[in-house]
Amino acid sequence: MTLAPGSAEIIGELATTRPAPAGTAALRAALHARRMLLLKAVLVRVERSGASLDTAVRARFEADWALLERAERADPAAVRALLDYPMTGGWLGAALAADEGPALAEQLPYLTGLALAAAVLAGCPVDGERAVPSGRLVLPGLGALCCPSGRVLLGGRPGALRIADSAGAAEVLLARPGPGGRRPVPDGTGWLALRELPGSAVLLDDLDPYRVPAPGIGPEALPAGERPHSAPREWAARWRAARALLSATDPPRAAETGAVLRAVVPLAPSGRPGGPPMSATLRAAPGALLSQLPQDPGDLAETLVHETQHTKLATLHELLPLYRPGGARYRVGWRPDPRPVPGVLQGVYAHLALADLWRRAGRGPVVAYGWRDRAERQFDTRWDHVGEALSILRESDELTVAGRELVHAMERHHVSLGVAARSPG
């Protein structure tokens, strides 16, 4: 069996972990195709649900779906970006996993906020009213409106949507973004807007209900950091300094983190202080970095590179499956617990990118936070760990043809990094 035409080139580009325009474009297309498939699956599930869904629930879903379609016709690019937002993926996964009946019905009101956000971004006029059972209307990628009455009234004009709690407790006027995606300042009360991190379009998302799965993240089952305790000023300061470190070391990689990531999701502080900050990327929501606040900008810079690679590889796996289900587990240098093949592959990819980063940092300009000292300590460790794990993957029978090709290409890049690191100059 061989790879489809063009697949080898995409894998070859992505295997280096370096920013790659063709590879990035392919991943974006794959992500959107996956989102559209899941969105259609939710529609089909609702249509087939029969009497398990209340008539009012079904009517609201149909109205929301019609608005989403109308917005997509008005501005396909804007709605595509919204559908590709990480938390949209989290909602789709939850909706498709919910049991029939009340459990599914509880997931469907999110579509109201999704459709209204699409209307704002596309400049579509909307009128009427919608139910808000949770008491908070979340517009993905934009913000949330407090709705204690459980219903909102909709109005406004083309290019600006007014949303008001039916009892008058809150109201906001949301204008369509300007050229270049510039966000107008909302006018209203009871509105919580998402914040953009400095110098980027990446959002600090501390509002969306689907930003962290219900069980939490990691061994401590960490929940999402909740506003007003999500430390936005500290995140902004660390983000600015971390991006400066990356820009001084490797400008293309700094630009890639801003292009691949769509959101940073603060996690709650650990109950056991003193350890490294927890970070993660969810397969259902690539493009979102879930993380506790790193201790310093150097830690955040490393985390940005690490989790960007997880997003890339998770999306590549949706485009070209890299492995089959299997039960084998292996010891790797960067984790104390044995890892399955998908975990080994994800770790190799992320740590190969870090080895590439540390090689450049070791020869780059002297910057703050002990950056070059860290590079000199870290490169050999990362490079050795990746080499050991690549030998595990090379022998695995759980990899697909695409997975084996990726591993072979990563091996070539791993060797070239070792040669470059040991060459003078």
Domain ranges of the chain: 49-193, 232-422
Q: Which tokens is 78 given?
A: 């804007």
- Residue-level pLDDT at 381: 92
- Residue-level pLDDT at 172: 95
- Residue-level pLDDT at 3: 59
Q: pTM of the predicted model, to two decimals?
A: 0.93
Q: What are phi and psi of 274, to 5 degrees?
A: 110, -25
CA Rg, the chain, in Å?
23
- Which of 185, 345, 212 minimizes the C-alpha distance to 279? 212
CA dihedral 309→312→313→318, nearest 10 degrees, is: 160
Residue 289 to residues 36, 182, 260, 297, 362, Cα–Cα distance (Å): 22, 23, 10, 15, 26
Convert the pLDDT of each residue in 189-213 to its tens digit: 899 999 999 999 999 999 999 999 9
- Residue-level pLDDT at 4: 58
Q: Which tokens is 105 given?
A: 């019905």
Q: Which residues of the chain have pLDDT under 50?
A: none
- Which of 354, 249, 253 minimizes the C-alpha distance to 306? 354
Q: Which tokens is 346 given?
A: 């994800």
- Which H or E run includes 46? helix 21-47
Contact 224, 86 (CB under 8 A): no
CA gap 159, 407 in Å, rounded: 49
- Residue-level pLDDT at 22: 83
DSSP symbols for 250-288: -HHHHHHHHHH--EEEEBPPPSSTTSPPPEE--TTSTTE
CA gap 183, 32 in Å, rounded: 23
Q: What are phi and psi of 142, to 5 degrees?
A: -120, -55
Q: Which tokens is 288 given?
A: 């979102």
277 exposure class (CB count in 10 Å sphere: 0-12, 13-18, 19+): middle
- Residue-level pLDDT at 21: 82
User: If DSSP codes are grouped into helix, strand and coil, which group holds residue 157?
Assistant: strand
- Residue-level pLDDT at 193: 94
- Which of 322, 335, 330, 343 minimizes the C-alpha distance to 398? 322
- Which of 245, 235, 243, 237 minimizes the C-alpha distance to 374? 245
